[in-house]
Amino acid sequence: MVAVVGASGAMALAAAPVMAAPTSALSRVASAKIPAGFPKAVPLPKHYKVLVGTINPYSHEYEVVLSVPGTVKGVVSQYKAELKAAGFSEVSGSAAGSSGDVSGTGKGWLVSSEMQSGPSSVYKLPSGDVDMSIIVTKA
């Protein structure tokens, strides 16, 4: 409780504000590049352009949003192969129409990615590119 003095000079008690613990949504550091500390063991697709990169300094969760040339099916196939070649296991992925996903575990990291083609409501993608989001967390 804190004492609050009003304009009339009357004093009242009020609850003190409580600071909430940081949450992932409120504590991300973002830029248009791969975040500092992004694990070198996690491969990135060929010919990508970074749209945004974020890190949550509290949970050490990294996210990169990329523009990747090609089709969703092609990017899914390519990224699955890149994860396997980098020594990741439990690699899975699928593509259906304009969306797809790939995930894998390896070298102490869990990688989860989603892709979509077509117009994005958030990013202006070059024609023929796929919007790819990769989230990396400690396994």
Each of the 139 residues of the chain gets a pLDDT tens digit; together they read 444 444 555 544 444 443 344 444 444 567 789 999 999 999 999 999 999 999 998 888 999 999 999 999 999 999 999 999 999 999 999 999 999 999 999 999 999 999 999 877 677 888 889 999 999 999 8
pTM here is 0.77
Backbone torsions φ then ψ of 137, nearest 5 degrees: -135, 160
Amino acid at 90: E
- Residue holding tokens 């070059």? 126
Burial (0-12, 13-18, 19+ Cβ within 10 Å), 14: exposed
Specify the length of the chain in residues. Answer: 139
Q: Which H or E run contains 73?
A: helix 72-85
Task: Summarize pLDDT for 36-69 with one digit per residue, the tens.
Answer: 999 999 999 999 999 999 999 888 899 999 999 9
Q: DSSP secondary-structure letter at 32? A: S
